């Protein structure tokens, strides 16, 4: 090879896999002399790391063994993600690592992990029945086993969305190993190809269905009637509704502040800030919300008096008869039960929020205004709903709905 690949005084810096690498002789924790490597895309970057590594080598023992994917993920989750990210993010990343990444790549050393290794692994995950891989059917009592444990594979394959989330988890961990811990020169998960994600087309009620749903809840004295109103009229998310406190509601001034959410994560109930700053807002509300919240106040005061010393004060707007928070899953059950009682199509709770967006579109509310009401972080999300405008018949029905909803 002609020419010098290394500048003067940089005898241990050399080209390596599309970038550069360097090593320093260090003393490890066992008192042995070993080479310690650093990596980077540019020579200047590696030179800086090389100088820093020499400084550490002069100060004392230096760890030389590159961790496996499993051991690094354990450290990354414990010391990087759990203290600095939301409980939901940590729970998801931990699940992805435990169920998918560690079983397939856990024994690989970080510095030996190649793009082809990650691509083969992700392809295998996509083609593997997760009921078989995770032993879901096997964990059932013998008499209740119905598929994989009995030799009839149910073909429970991972969705394209979840597969992307799993890859993103690994990519984030490897990025930290490269940029913060200086263990890698490149991220082997970044170039990996994934199948395209087909977005689920959300469902939304017609104006007539929304009216019937609210009328049914009001007439039956449903304790969650006000929660349904806030979801359909203001587009509040489930967690935001359940996390709403009376301190955030000004009934007389007809406005409320969205700042907290209620979530059940890994068996623990969290009353915490909303996911992003874009989700926070102070929203004015119309008279139908005022009436619904006044009814809710009266009902809660009655429940508090009936409970006496058994009442748990939480300041939450929506509580059980004893003042405790409402479980998110129980809210889903109540919502679906009300769908059946009202005789309307069963949709997901989040699709009720989508219904709010559809109603705003039908009323010709400007998309930018709708974006503020729904607190979308991305205008494209609002426009995705607005491009699915309803028929003229629905528009005409909405004019009638604007009057009838006030009587719910």
> Same structural domain for residues 260 and 288?
yes
The whole-number pLDDT of residue 1 equals: 38
Looking only at Cα atoms, what is the longest distance across the chain?
90
Euclidean distance between CA atoms 15 and 21, whole angstroms = 6
Poorest-confidence range of 39-48, 200-209, 248-257? 200-209
> Same structural domain for residues 76 and 175?
yes
Euclidean distance between CA atoms 142 and 140, whole angstroms = 6
Mean pLDDT of the chain: 85
Tell me: pLDDT of 97 over 50: yes
> Same structural domain for residues 384 and 270?
yes
The whole-number pLDDT of residue 187 equals: 94
Asked if the structure places residue 2 within a domain, the reply is no
The whole-number pLDDT of residue 406 equals: 61
- Pairing relationship of beta strands 281-284 and 255-258 according to DSSP bridges: antiparallel
What residues contact 183, with CB distance under 8 A and at least 6 apart? 39, 66, 67, 72, 110, 111, 177
The arithmetic mean of pLDDT across residues 15-38, rounded, is 84
> Same structural domain for residues 168 and 292?
no
Greater confidence (256 vs 98) lies with: 98
> Same structural domain for residues 292 and 325?
yes
pTM above 0.85, yes or no: no
The whole-number pLDDT of residue 66 equals: 81
Q: 396 falls in which pLDDT band (50, 70, 90)?
A: low
The whole-number pLDDT of residue 52 equals: 86
Euclidean distance between CA atoms 182 and 204, whole angstroms = 49
Greater confidence (385 vs 343) lies with: 343
Radius of gyration of the chain (CA): 28
> Same structural domain for residues 151 and 228?
no
Question: End-to-end alpha-carbon separation of the chain, Å?
Answer: 84
Asked if the structure places residue 195 within a domain, the reply is no
Q: In this structure, what CATH number is given to the domain that contains residue 339?
A: 1.10.443.10
Poorest-confidence range of 68-72, 83-87, 375-379? 375-379
The whole-number pLDDT of residue 29 equals: 66
> Same structural domain for residues 98 and 241?
no
> Same structural domain for residues 268 and 341?
yes
The whole-number pLDDT of residue 6 equals: 47
φ/ψ of 19, rounded to 5, equals: -145, -140
Out of 25, 59, 93, a domain closes at 59
> Same structural domain for residues 49 and 74?
no
Euclidean distance between CA atoms 318 and 332, whole angstroms = 14
Number of folded domains in the chain?
Answer: 3
> Same structural domain for residues 211 and 335?
yes
Greater confidence (43 vs 199) lies with: 43
Tell me: pLDDT of 11 over 60: no
Q: Could you list the residue range(s) of the whole structural domain that residue 119 is in?
A: 69-179
Residues in the chain: 408
53 contacts 62 by C-beta, under 8 angstroms? yes
> Same structural domain for residues 328 and 222?
yes
Asked if the structure places residue 320 within a domain, the reply is yes
> Same structural domain for residues 168 and 24?
no
Distance set, CA 52 to CA 55, 59, 259 (Å): 5, 11, 44
Asked if the structure places residue 257 within a domain, the reply is yes
The arithmetic mean of pLDDT across residues 212-236, rounded, is 93
The 10s digit of each residue's pLDDT in 292-333 is 999 999 999 999 999 999 999 999 999 999 999 999 999 999
Asked if the structure places residue 75 within a domain, the reply is yes
The whole-number pLDDT of residue 379 equals: 61
The arithmetic mean of pLDDT across residues 202-211, rounded, is 84
């Amino acid at each position: 090879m002609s020419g010098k690949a290394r500048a003067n005084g940089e005898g241990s810096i050399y080209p390596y896999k599309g970038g550069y690498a360097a090593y320093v002789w260090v003393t490890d924790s066992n008192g042995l002399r070993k080479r310690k490597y650093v990596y980077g895309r540019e020579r200047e970057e590696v030179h800086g790391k090389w100088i820093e590594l020499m400084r550490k080598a002069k100060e004392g023992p230096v760890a030389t063994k590159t961790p496996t994917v499993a051991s690094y993920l354990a450290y990354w989750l414990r010391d990087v993600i759990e203290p600095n990210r939301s409980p939901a993010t940590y729970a998801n990343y931990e699940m992805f690592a435990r169920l998918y990444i560690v079983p397939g790549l856990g024994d690989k050393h970080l510095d030996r992990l190649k793009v082809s290794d990650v691509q083969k692994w992700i392809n295998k995950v996509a083609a593997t029945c997760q009921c078989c891989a995770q032993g879901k059917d096997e964990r059932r009592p013998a008499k209740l086993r119905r598929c994989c444990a009995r030799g009839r594979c149910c073909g429970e394959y991972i969705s394209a969305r979840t597969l992307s989330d799993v890859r993103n988890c690994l990519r984030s961990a490897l990025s930290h190993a490269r940029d913060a811990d200086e263990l890698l020169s490149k991220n082997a998960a970044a170039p990996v190809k994934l199948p395209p994600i087909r977005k689920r087309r959300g469902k939304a009620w017609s104006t007539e269905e929304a009216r019937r749903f609210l009328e049914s809840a009001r007439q039956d004295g449903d304790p969650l009637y006000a929660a349904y109103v806030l979801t359909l009229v203001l587009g509040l998310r489930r967690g935001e509704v359940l996390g709403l406190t009376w301190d955030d509601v000004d009934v007389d001034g007809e406005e409320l502040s969205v700042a907290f959410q209620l979530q059940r994560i890994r068996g623990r109930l969290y009353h915490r800030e909303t996911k992003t700053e874009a989700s926070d807002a102070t929203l004015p509300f119309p008279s139908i919300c005022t009436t619904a919240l006044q009814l809710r106040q009266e009902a809660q005061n009655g429940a508090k008096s009936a409970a006496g010393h058994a009442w748990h004060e939480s300041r939450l707007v929506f509580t059980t008869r004893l003042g405790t928070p409402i479980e998110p899953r129980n809210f889903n059950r109540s919502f679906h039960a009300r769908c059946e009682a009202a005789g309307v199509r069963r949709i997901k709770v989040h699709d009720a929020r989508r219904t709010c967006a559809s109603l705003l579109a039908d009323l010709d509310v400007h998309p930018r205004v709708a974006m503020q009401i729904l607190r979308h972080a991305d205008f494209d999300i609002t426009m995705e709903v607005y491009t699915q405008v309803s028929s003229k018949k629905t528009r005409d029905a909405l004019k009638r709905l604007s009057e009838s909803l006030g009587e719910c």
